[in-house]
Structure 1
Amino acid sequence: MELNIEIPRKISLAYGVACKDLCRELDLPQTAFDILMFLGNNPAYKTASEIVELRHIKANLISVHVERLVQEGYLIRRPSPTDRRKTELFCTEKALPVIRRGRQLQADFLEKVFADTDQETRRAFANLMRRIEENLDGILEGK
């Protein structure tokens, strides 16, 4: 079996193209938009270090853009209730319309990615991705 290593890169590039107009309209750099969307879509994750780890964005970029988002009123920082060394990030009311529009953009993007595929194919793909993730988890856990 052969895997096309270009697909993840093309998805990332195409997503950036899809976000370009909205980011320009909102006067937000792509990285700042990505941070808001990550926090809005993944409420279990609240720290800059989690964004660095899961989104593979350099720590200095996260730091700069989080500071900007705090200054512009999109995010607030709070000390972690479980670890005083950590600071948690939370989206403000101001961020909610951005996240709503971003979610619509993401839904539209997925529709374009899956254009000309029926629901059965989409379900099969989702099931395959879940299976692959489980298999990867097993590899990472040494099973």
Structure 2
Amino acid sequence: MTESILPCTPLVQLEDAVDRIASKMPGSPREEVTLTRLHFYTQLQLDAWFNASLKPYELNETMWMALMLIYSCPDERVSPSDISSAMTFSRTNATRVVDELEKKGWIQRRPCPGDRRKTELALTVSGLALIQQVLPVQRARLKELWQDFSSDERRQLETLERKLLARLTG
């Protein structure tokens, strides 16, 4: 007789591993471990989903968020330290992202008008055109991603995510 085999998905593997550990070490916080791992797994899938949608534009999520940060400013200019701070990057990682955006011609480094010792990052015409091309596509994909959640569910998830973040950063 052939045994039925369940699909071996990462979630099934996760739950099986958590159960095995709990049986070896009674009192393990099964629910907390599962929530934490589920959050990590969801984040990995979200990153992959987002990066796949940006790949045709030679972008990744990190580059896109840096461009959006610059675009969100009234004069479409920021300091490199603003990128580092807002995206919680090390200065080294922020520099790498900025270098890549500049190499692609989407931003440029300029002397800061108020202090020539400082540098600011500004969108180029090409960078602005890219944003105007990609932003409507990303907006539509985000709406599609969240379409199965009611407004109440989205608000509740936002509240829970903010609560978790506050616990981690507070």
TM-score normalized by the length of structure 1: 0.64
Pairing 1:37–2:53 present: no
The unaligned stretches of length 5 or more in structure 2 are 1-30
Counterpart in the other structure of 2:107: 75
Between stretches 5-14 and 76-85, larger displacement belongs to 76-85
Between stretches 106-115 and 55-64, larger displacement belongs to 55-64
For the structure 1 residues 35 and 135, does the alpha-carbon distance in structure 2 shift closer, same or farther, using more than 3 Å as the test? closer
Counterpart in the other structure of 1:46: 78
- Aligned-pair CA distance for 1:14: 0.7
Computing the radius of gyration over CA atoms, which structure comes out larger, 1 or 2? 2
Whole-Å separation in 2 of the counterparts to 1:85 and 1:69: 22
- Aligned-pair CA distance for 1:123: 5.2
Q: Which AA in structure 2 matches 1:50?
A: D
- 1:116-139: CA deviation from partner (whole Å, max 9, x where unpaired): 34xxx1354146525753785588
- Aligned-pair CA distance for 1:57: 4.9
Q: Alignment RMSD, CA only?
A: 3.5
Q: Which AA in structure 1 matches 2:129?
A: P
For the structure 1 residues 95 and 107, does the alpha-carbon distance in structure 2 shift closer, same or farther, using more than 3 Å as the test? same
Structure 1 stretches of 4+ with a deviation exceeding 6 A read none
**Paired positions, count:** 132
For the structure 1 residues 128 and 114, does the alpha-carbon distance in structure 2 shift closer, same or farther, using more than 3 Å as the test? closer
Percent of residue pairs identical: 23
Q: Secondary structure at the match of 1:12?
A: helix
TM-score normalized by the length of structure 2: 0.56
On the 8 A contact 1:47/1:87 being kept in 2, the answer is: yes
On the 8 A contact 1:114/1:122 being kept in 2, the answer is: no
Pairing 1:8–2:43 present: yes
Whole-Å separation in 2 of the counterparts to 1:130 and 1:68: 35
Pairing 1:133–2:162 present: yes
Q: Which AA in structure 2 matches 1:87?
A: T
| Larger RCO (CA within 8 A; separation ≥ 6) | 1
